[in-house]
Amino acid sequence: MHAEESSHSELIYGLDDKPKPLLAFCAALQHVLASFVGIITPPLVIGAALGLGEHLPYLISMALMVSGVGTFLQARRPLGIGAGMICLQGTSFAFLGAVLSAGFLVKSRGGSPEDILAMIFGVCFFGAFVQVVLSRFIGHLRRVITPLVTGIVITLIGVSLIKVGITDIGGGFKAPDFGAPGNLALGGLVLATIILLNRSRNPWVRLSSILIGLAVGSVVAFFSGKLVPQALPDLPLVSVPVPFKYGFAFDWTAFVPVALIYLISTIETVGDLTANCMIARKPFKGPEYEARLKGGVLGDGVSCLLAATFSAFPNTTFAQNNGVIQLTGVASRHVGLYIGAVLFILGLFPLIGAVLQQIPKPVLGGATLVMFGSVAAAGIRILAQARLDRRSLLVIAGSFGVGLGIAAQPTLLHQLPPIVQNLFDSAITCGGITAILLSLVLPEEKPAARTDGAAERA
């Protein structure tokens, strides 16, 4: 029996089975624990980098609430929106670079925090329609955005974000004590804790490693004086979602990088949905599979539309839930309804965001460095599965050369028009567009002709 078949045989509840409420709730909590840090970290990183501190409790609340609604839609599948499986929706790390670029663009013009958020959510709102439209043409899209292109872009995303994590380990952007030994030791402790816990044979310890690492780091920071609890702001007991709370703005130079990431995020979602189908013993070929892909990607797009409308950053289908399904043996989509409800309830209380906002930068940096490194590693893993012939290596070399080269020398484009600078000063945008163009322009190599005389003997 193959390992894959063995894992399938251990499935306790299938896709349409209904576990008892208590069991379903316990299974849902495992998913929430595995994904909670991933959902709240992007708002924390973006808020710290762009100076959005006063808005962070609300942003974190909305991130949790929208993740809950998106997860519910994916499981319930109303009007064909959703894959009809456990597809936990969470804030995507892939958009961090593009979102931060949009924020810094507004900040450089003297914009207020509200102006920054208006621009970010404006471009993300229109970008979500890219994913909605692509969901209708998912079969054709996979012929253009190949695993090679996807692997290149995901690797570039991870490599670009590592700078954010390492800056936080030092103490944060423009911190007066940047690089202090205490900051480095604290970040190193969190990093080491997460790595050691990930080597554990206990699957629940591995799933909770980032959560435990943040807790350990925060405790040590408290006793070392790096974490000084601040008085909590005067917040309402419950967060009330307000459509376009910060206004609405749009700029093409901020939009194009975001639209490109929506394109790549779509392909990433297809991979996660395919793995989910395999684990849940559902077809991963044919009409039913295609319908799930279309519904799942559409669910991602609708979730992102809701996110931009209610002040949350773009969402995507998390890969973590596939690991939890394998560990628990519970693939029932009804568990997804419980997950959605738990996340929504957590998001109701802004006090959670206010507390999490006080996590010291070096502690957060130690955790995000692992997360961002994992993004890069995931991209390398995809590349390793592609056929690495001379053409593929040329596409990789050209894309990495252009993308990382511009990231290393950002002044390279400063004599070009401002619109060109703003569009192409990102490693992700430049490298991604280069990868797509080279993949389309360079012809596929034909298999080498046989030289052993087999053709003549035939």
Let me know if residue 97 belongs to a domain.
yes
Let me know if residue 16 belongs to a domain.
no
Let me know if residue 11 belongs to a domain.
no
pLDDT for the residue numbered 3: 41
Name residue 90's beta-bridge partners.
316
Q: Write phi, then psi, for 89 (nearest 5 degrees).
A: -90, 130
Q: Supply the range of the domain harboring residue 318.
A: 21-441
Give me the number of domains the chain comprises: 1
Mean pLDDT of 59-82: 95
| pTM reported for the whole predicted model | 0.77
Let me know if residue 301 belongs to a domain.
yes
pLDDT for the residue numbered 241: 92
- Higher pLDDT, residue 412 or 326: 412
3-state DSSP assignment of residue 33: helix
Let me know if residue 127 belongs to a domain.
yes
Let me know if residue 12 belongs to a domain.
no
| Strand boundaries in 258-386, DSSP class E | 315-317
Mean pLDDT of 133-144: 80
Let me know if residue 359 belongs to a domain.
yes
* Per-residue pLDDT reduced to its tens digit, 196-234: 988 888 877 876 788 888 889 999 999 988 888 877 777
Reference 436, options 48, 141, 125; nearest CA is: 141
Q: What burial class does residue 284 get, using C-beta atoms within 10 Å of its C-beta: 0-12 exposed, 13-18 middle, 19+ buried? A: middle
* Per-residue pLDDT reduced to its tens digit, 335-373: 999 999 999 999 999 888 888 878 888 998 888 888 788
pLDDT for the residue numbered 423: 66
Asked if 439 and 148 count as a contact pair (C-beta separation under 8 A), the reply is: yes
The sign of the dihedral angle between the CA atoms of 425, 426, 427, 429 is negative
* Per-residue pLDDT reduced to its tens digit, 93-105: 888 888 998 999 8
Let me know if residue 456 belongs to a domain.
no
- 73 confidence band (pLDDT: 50, 70, 90): very high
Q: Chain-wide mean pLDDT for the chain? A: 85
Asked if 370 and 196 count as a contact pair (C-beta separation under 8 A), the reply is: no
Instruction: Measure Cα distances from 280 to 5, 10, 275 in Å.
Output: 11, 11, 9
